[in-house]
Amino acid sequence: MKKVKGIRRARVALMATLGSAMVLAACGSTSSSTSSSASSSGGSATSGNITWWASPIAQVGIRAALVSAFEKAYPKIHVTIQSAPTNTGTNRSQLVTEISGGSTTPDVFMGDVIWPAQFGAHQLAVPLSKYLPSSYWTKFAPGLVSGASYKGQVYGSPLFEDQGFLYYRKDLLAKAGLPVPKTWQQLESEAVTLVHDHLVQYGFVWEGDSYEGLTCDFMEYLTSAGGKVVNSSYTKSVIDSAAGVKALSFMRSLITSGASPAAVTTFQEPQAMAVFDAGNAAFLRNWDYAWSNSQTPADSKVVGKVGVAPLPTFAGQSYPGYSNIGGWNLYINPHTKHLNADLTFIKWMSSTKAQYILGKTYSEIPTVESVRTALASLPSTPPPERVAATTRLIARPAGTPNYPQLSSALYTNVNAALTGSVSVSSALSAAQSQINTALSGGL
């Protein structure tokens, strides 16, 4: 079984509850340092010291490269990298303990895109939009800033992102005379055809296990169907709808039609990639890092045979479909003593220079729209990064401090419908009831 290297192994790890540390944090006070001159300067520091809490990113050297370039631009600001755990849950737990205890370090921390509500609600991160102007946030790709917000404030500055893509076997489609599918219905039909014609063992593999990754996948179908999980004010769930039925019924039909194997209900990212890389599936839904996995000769039998496209949409809807947002933001510790220098660091990390280091040198997907577009035109840019400029993004419904409970209600019930143990209507009804309980603060 292949493993995704570094931080990527933990990107869609099961979200646990924040526990008593969060409760303590909500009762604590915020450091007075956040009321400093940073409110007027917006990060104009030219000297200082910063501790940056950052997990190892997939490619070795990327953190050091970013810090080196920043220190060349700001030679009197020194950045110390504090290596964080690669497991997202462990990472978050340690941060909660440190910050809720009043620690002034780390100053800046790299955190998951689904953390803003959890950290913002309990005063564990600085509301960056109080210090950075509205013009700062307009440069990011659509969907990223809203996903980094909670109750009208932006808590995370997008650093780099992951998203879902459709990977397909170019050789199999050419042999069968089939086009790259643009609708979900077309993908299902082509997958069934390729299996029935004995050109491949499985048609379409994806993440159907009962875990956070299924929430990501389901959001893509639901949004393309025109649905939402919760209303805009996060006061109630609206998942039990015609759009919800359409999305979940289609996901179930992928299995009953033979387009996807029944075992897909136990697949997470590594399992889905392993099947595809072994040459046993025609289509794969996975994150951007699946490209490099598929092109590694030691691990893959499909090197040179893989194409990448945006995810499909439902027939009658505008193409492309929606890709769920993964990735990492930069946050600031509310107890920091170096807020102005922290803001300078965060602003630089969203600069063209930093985003080109991330995107061109290290093949991460930039969050700044102009850089994404520019890189998409370069032949040397890997296919996922080229395709990313044409996709539409959708965030998970993480605008509540109780998102872990919300997501659990979502993926457990969706998985139950996928396995056939409950009906689609029963699954959606149960999910809506449990999500409403989560939104009200219950367990």
pLDDT 10s digits, 369-396: 999 999 999 999 999 999 999 999 999 9
Instruction: Provide CB contacts within 8 A for 223, sequence distance 6+.
Output: 321, 322, 394
Give pLDDT, residue 42.
73
Cβ atoms 180, 309 nearer than 8 A: yes
CA distance 182 to 299: 29
* Judgement on whether residues 176 and 315 belong to the same structural domain of the protein: yes
Read off the CATH number of the domain in which 319 is found: 3.40.190.10
> Is residue 159 a contact partner of residue 329, using CB atoms and an 8 Å limit?
yes
Beta bridge partners of 112: 328
CA distance 394 to 161: 12
Same domain (yes/no): 135, 228: no
Q: Please give the pLDDT value at position 7.
A: 46
**pLDDT confidence of 408, banded at 50, 70, 90?**
very high
Domain count, the chain: 2
Within 364-402, residue ranges assigned H as helices are 369-376, 383-388
Predicted confidence (pLDDT) per residue in 213-267, tens digit:
999 999 999 999 999 999 999 999 999 999 999 999 999 999 999 999 999 999 9
Residue 144: in which H helix or E strand, if any? helix 144-147
Indicate whether 142 and 264 sit together in one domain.
no
| Range 205-210 average pLDDT | 98
Q: Report how far residue 113's alpha carbon sits from residue 108's, in angstroms, rounded to the nearest whole number.
A: 15
Q: Report the alpha-carbon distance of residue 182 to residue 167 in Å, rounded.
A: 12
Instruction: Supply the range of the domain harboring residue 57.
Output: 6-162+326-394
Residue 34 has pLDDT above 70, yes or no: no
Cβ atoms within 10 A of the Cβ of 378, count? 11
Other C-beta atoms lying within 10 Å of the C-beta of residue 198: 7
Burial profile 148-165: b = 16 or more Cβ within 10 angstroms, e = fewer = bbbeeebbbbbbbbbbbb
Residues 80 and 189 in one domain: no
Checking DSSP bridges between strand 202-205 and strand 281-287, what pairing results, if any?
Answer: parallel
pLDDT at 135: 96
Cβ atoms of 38 and 340 closer than 8 Å: yes
- The answer to whether residue 110 sits within a structural domain is yes
- Residues with Cβ within 8 Å of 249's Cβ and at least 6 positions away in sequence, in order, are 424
Same domain, 410 and 309: yes
- Please check whether residues 315 and 346 belong to one and the same domain: no
pLDDT at 32 over 80: no
Residues 18 and 73 in one domain: yes
SS3 category, 222 = helix
- CA–chain centroid gap for 142, Å, is 14
Same-domain check for residues 175 and 301: yes
3-state secondary structure of 235: coil
Q: Do residues 307 and 331 both lie within one domain? A: no
- Whether residue 68 sits in one domain with residue 130: yes
Residue 121: pLDDT above 60? yes
Q: Which residues are CB-contacts of 1 (< 8 A; sequence separation ≥ 6)?
A: 270, 271, 274
Q: Let me know the angle formed at the C-alpha of 208 by 86 and 410, rounded to the nearest 5 degrees.
A: 85
Could you tell me if residue 37 is inside a domain?
Answer: yes
Residue 1 counted as domain residue:
no
- Check whether residue 339 and residue 317 sit in a common domain: no
CB 328 within 8 A of CB 110: yes
Per-residue pLDDT band at 39 (split at 50, 70, 90): low
Each residue's pLDDT tens digit, 350-361: 999 999 999 999
- 332 in Cβ contact with 126 (< 8 Å): yes
More confident residue, 183 or 17: 183
Q: In the predicted model, is pLDDT for residue 13 greater than 60?
A: no
Q: Which of 374, 394, 414 is the last residue of a domain?
A: 394
Helices (H), 327-442: 339-349, 352-356, 369-376, 383-388, 403-419, 424-439
**Other beta carbons within 10 Å of 284:** 25
> 59 pLDDT band (50/70/90 cuts)?
low
Q: 334-348: per-residue pLDDT in tens? A: 999 999 999 999 999
Confidence grade of residue 442 (pLDDT, cut at 50, 70, 90): low
Task: Say if CB 157 and CB 134 are below 8 A apart.
Answer: no
Q: Which residues of 68-90 are buried (b: 16+ CB within 10 A; e: fewer)?
A: ebbeeebeebebebeebbbebee
Paired with 81 in beta bridges are 52
What is the Rg, in whole angstroms, of the alpha carbon atoms belonging to the chain? 22
Do both 158 and 177 map to the same domain? no
In angstroms, rounded to a whole number, what is the distance separating the alpha carbons of residues 95 and 369?
Answer: 30
8 Å CB contact between 58 and 5: yes
